[in-house]
Amino acid sequence: MELTVLNTAGKETGRKVQISDSIVNAEPNDHAIYLDVKQYLANQRQGTHKSKERSEMSGSTKKLGKQKGGGGARRGDINSPLLHGGARVFGPRPRDYGFKLNKKLKRLARLSALAYKFKESNVTVVEDLSFDAPKTKRMIEILKNLNLSEKKSLIVLAESNKFVFLSSRNLPQIKVINVSDLNTYDILNAKNLLFVEASAKKLDEIYATQE
């Protein structure tokens, strides 16, 4: 598949980038996508939730009433879970929500997500994004020229660029990522993928040649 390379003014440069058919025509695996996105979201959870159990409460341990004859439950001390302000039974404890997925499955999930974007024609290639200093106004202008100002977009760079990141940091619909750090969640969470020419070529090298 050939993609037309545009300049920052939104005009065609006359150049094209070749994307391997093994990426564009990959058979999407929805279950692989589900597992990879599930793992990504699970890894975002801090897992620091904690509620106090009976042995951790600071209240008195004195028994409040007789064992029998009170007409109610045998509730014990003031820390009882039966009382307002008491402990919680089987409350949440700190835990790690992460789980393991095989590398081949994660690669299949990314390929599937990329294939969906290419089939939906939601991929744009721009020749370069170069900034001498952080300029959010300039980034807004470029996105407008590319008809992406109203779309949630993922900007994919060949390598880290501090000024591009800072220029888009205050734009809620834009996220910047390196092509080597692409993940299934970010690909699907964006309406459009915006590659620079170098990152589009690198994408083809990473996913078309790797077995």
Tell me the mean pLDDT in the region 177-188.
94
If asked whether residues 72 and 131 sit together in one domain, one would say no
If asked whether residues 102 and 204 sit together in one domain, one would say yes
| DSSP one-letter code for 169 | T
Per-residue pLDDT band for 38 (boundaries 50, 70, 90) equals: very high
Q: 163: helix, coil or strand?
A: helix
Which residue range(s) make up the domain with 195? 2-46+97-209
- In what order do the strands lie in the sheet containing 123-126? 12-18, 2-6, 123-126, 192-196, 153-157, 174-178
Number of domains in the chain: 2
If asked whether residues 78 and 144 sit together in one domain, one would say no
Q: CATH number for the domain including 31?
A: 3.40.1370.10
- pTM, two decimals, is 0.82
Q: What are the tens digits of pLDDT across the range 120-172?
A: 999 999 998 888 899 999 999 999 999 998 899 999 999 988 999 999 999 99
Dihedral of CA 144/147/150/155: which sign? negative
Tell me which of 63, 91, 119 is where a domain ends: 91
Which amino acid would we find at residue 128?
A: D
Per-residue pLDDT band for 209 (boundaries 50, 70, 90) equals: low
Q: Is 85's pLDDT higher than 50?
A: yes
- pLDDT at residue 211, as a whole number: 44
Choice between 210 and 55, residue whose per-residue pLDDT is larger: 55
Residue of 146, 187, 158, 147 whose CA lies nearest to 23: 187
Tell me the mean pLDDT in the region 174-202.
94
Q: 17 is written with which tokens?
A: 């980038």
If asked whether residues 150 and 194 sit together in one domain, one would say yes
